[in-house]
Amino acid sequence: MLRRRFLKPAKKKFFHQQQARALRLKHLKQRKAKLFARHALQFVVQDI
């Protein structure tokens, strides 16, 4: 019983860490995509 009570918050914390990491990765990917889009746009402008 004592062990279960000790494990629960740790599990919660671990899940939260996973969520935070996923969120950060998502933001990174979005930023990269935005940068890439801007870069591609610059090339299009140069081509014209």
**Residue range 3-42, pLDDT digits in tens:** 666 666 667 777 788 888 999 999 999 999 998 888 887 7
Residue numbers of the domain that contains 20: 1-48
Domain count, the chain: 1
For residue 1, pLDDT over 60 is answered with: no
Strands of the chain, DSSP E:
none
Written as six digits, the tokens of 41 are 């746009």
pTM of the model: 0.51
Total number of residues shown for the chain: 48
- How high is the pLDDT of residue 5? 64
CA distance 24 to 18: 10
